[in-house]
Amino acid sequence: MIGFLRGVLREKQPPGLLLDVQGVGYEVNAPMTTFYDLPAVGETITLFTHLAVREDAHTLYGFSKLSDRTLFRTLIKVNGVGAKMALTILSGMDAGVFAACVQAGDTAALVRLPGVGKKTAERLVVEMRDRLADGDTAGAATGPTSAPPDVANPVEEAVSALVALGYKPQDASRMVRAVETRELATEDIIRTALQATVKK
């Protein structure tokens, strides 16, 4: 099992990034809560990782905070929640907001995330409430930090990232259009769009 990776950030295009670890390039999928914390390309970073093994693929997931990886691993234990959905949940809300939704039984906020239906939201609340109470996801994430723009068209990057996270193209475009995108980095556009969706 690969517990963490430390290397040079070579590419970042949500939800994927490329990490150069002593000459070996690791492709890693990460939630937006991690992208918010990433430095510029060329900087050295450390990611806590989870390796998902399937018959047809080995996929690495990376997290800037240990608490996010812990929550990810707890989420994929829930019946009907796979790695992709767990990544989407962590992209739509950080660990602290998710915990608050679960404790309050706020299934409406969870249903607004792509791929999360009413039954799944109810299952998340029931199963995660006990695990949160047991401290399985202790150490909720702190607020994200801004990253400088590093792409030619942050708006297009933001739409592409939302589509990759499971939103329909038309919904992703609508969400981004609702954001004042001037001088915002891709990560900030995505964060604002996702926050607006959750708060509806």
User: Per-residue pLDDT tens for 133-159?
Assistant: 665 544 443 333 333 333 347 887 888
The pLDDT of 77-91, averaged and rounded, is 89
Provide the token pair at 136: 């399985």
Secondary structure (3-state) at 107: helix
Secondary structure (3-state) at 96: helix
> What pLDDT was estimated at residue 99?
86
How far, in Å, CA of 98 to CA of 6, rounded?
28
pLDDT above 70: percentage of residues in the chain:
88
Residues 6+ apart with CB under 8 A from 21: 5, 6, 7
Query: What is each CA distance from 161 to 96, 115, 117, 151, in whole angstroms?
Result: 22, 15, 21, 13
Provide the token pair at 200: 């509806």
103 versus 148: which is more confidently predicted?
103
DSSP H or E run through 38:
none
Question: What domains are there in the chain, each with its CATH number?
Answer: 4-63 (2.40.50.140)
- Model's pTM, two decimal places? 0.69
